[in-house]
């Protein structure tokens, strides 16, 4: 995996293994939902880093500064894209 080279640099192996197991179990346990989201065409070329600072209200709404350096970072479930923005808006509300 892309993160294995960081074992014992940024986290101990035991922590890495717990995270890896949790992630793999989550994917396995939710595979039906993931397949449903794919079949419903919910995976799109999104912004990839949508938060309040990337939205400008002019005459129209302008959303800018999407991730361009890595297409894989932009393709995701639209629910994830909206959730990321919602978390950012919640953060502003609690300031």
Residues 41-72 pLDDT 10s = 999 999 999 999 999 999 999 999 999 999 88
The residues near 71 (Cβ < 8 Å, ≥ 6 apart) are 45
Whether residues 19 and 30 share a domain: the answer is yes
What percent of the chain clears pLDDT 70, i.e. is strictly above it?
Answer: 100
One domain, residues 49 and 95: yes
pLDDT at 1: 74
Say whether both 88 and 49 belong to one domain: yes
Q: Three-state DSSP class for 36?
A: helix
Tell me the residue range of the domain where 58 lies.
43-95
Please check whether residues 14 and 48 belong to one and the same domain: no
10-44 pLDDT, tens digit per residue, is 999 999 999 999 999 999 999 999 999 999 999 99
């Amino acid at each position: 995996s892309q993160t294995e080279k960081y074992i014992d640099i940024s986290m101990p192996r035991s922590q890495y293994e717990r995270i890896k197991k949790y992630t793999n179990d989550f994917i396995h346990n939710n595979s039906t939902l993931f397949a449903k989201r794919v079949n419903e065409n919910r995976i799109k070329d999104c912004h990839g880093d949508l938060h309040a600072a990337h939205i400008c209200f002019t005459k129209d709404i302008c959303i800018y500064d999407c991730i361009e350096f890595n297409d894989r970072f932009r393709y995701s479930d639209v629910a994830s894209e909206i959730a990321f923005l919602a978390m950012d808006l919640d953060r502003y509300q609690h300031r």
